Amino acid sequence: GEDVEQSLFLSVREGDSSVINCTYTDSSSTYLYWYKQEPGAGLQLLTYIFSNMDMKQDQRLTVLLNKKDKHLSLRIADTQTGDSAIYFCAERPSGTYKYIFGTGTRLKVLA
Amino acid sequence: DGGITQSPKYLFRKEGQNVTLSCEQNLNHDAMYWYRQDPGQGLRLIYYSQIVNDFQKGDIAEGYSVSREKKESFPLTVTSAQKNPTAFYLCASNHKAGDYYGYTFGSGTRLTVV
């Protein structure tokens, strides 16, 4: 099947770390992505990871990839109220440039 | 600056009307996509186009139509056959191959049936 699964909600306190998880099903996926959507807006690419990598760090963002379990996570360090948004993971299976998106995780940051 | 422009930002449709949502990109991207977003359901693919004058149905194409007469433009028509069109519509584009930067998205059109 082509299902990318995410939990729907996550709530954290300002200053804590947030971890958003994603499970994908296509082991041929070459690239995996994290997008952020603020209210009433389109999706903004946050970061991506190539399938031969285990980890990628970009300032406050850390992406971990467990290819064996088809598990992707996004850690946001020192979470701020401006990080409140919906976060989507997406995969790009090999041989196609059509992406498969997860259902999105709504992150709420409490002051 | 390059990007994708969707218009209008808000659109109201009466029962039985067809409406057309505009999507224009100046990124020289080959492929373009239309997604529908409903609360708690993520993104669902309506139609996509890999090349001019060609397009394919996505997962929820019924009640929608598209055209791709120019590389830059991929308008979506919501027809009266679409029974529940109220939603947020997103257009996206990317290159055919070797594009690890992923999709570029427009800012969306919110369609409401009145």
Residue that the structure tokens 């609360």 belong to: B39
**Measuring CA to CA, which residue among B87, B103, B77 is closest to residue B37?**
B87
SS3 B71: coil
Residues A75, A92: Cα–Cα separation, whole Å:
21
* Cβ neighbours of B40 in A, within 8 Å: 8, 103
- The amino acid occupying position B64 is Y
Structure confidence at residue B26 as a pLDDT band (50, 70, 90):
very high
Mean pLDDT of B28-52: 91
- Residue B52, pLDDT above cutoff 70: yes
Query: For position B102, what pLDDT does the model report?
Result: 79
**pLDDT of A73-97, one tens digit each?**
999 999 999 999 999 999 888 777 6
Query: For position A1, what pLDDT does the model report?
Result: 47
- C-alpha distances out from residue A110 to A10, A13, A16, A20, A25, Å: 11, 5, 10, 16, 32
Which residues, including other chains, have CB under 8 Å from residue A76's CB and lie 6 or more apart? A17, A18, A19, A20, A60, A61, A83, A107
* Distance to chain A for B15, nearest Cα, Å: 24
Q: Are strands B43-51 and B31-37 parallel, antiparallel or unpaired?
A: antiparallel
Query: For position B53, what pLDDT does the model report?
Result: 96
B105:A99 CB<8 A: no
Of B48, B103, B108, Cβ closest to residue A41: B108
Query: For position B40, what pLDDT does the model report?
Result: 72
- % helix / strand / coil in chain B, to the nearest 5? 0, 50, 50
Q: Is the dihedral of CA B62, A43, B31, B10 positive or negative?
A: positive
In Å, how far from its chain's centre is CA A27?
Answer: 17
* Distance to chain B for A101, nearest Cα, Å: 7
Could you say which DSSP state residue B15 is in? T
Residues B101, B13: Cα–Cα separation, whole Å:
35
| Structure tokens, A18 | 């947030």
Q: What is the mean pLDDT of chain B?
A: 91
Query: For position B47, what pLDDT does the model report?
Result: 96
A48:B101 CB<8 A: yes
> Which residues in chain A land under pLDDT 70?
1-2, 97
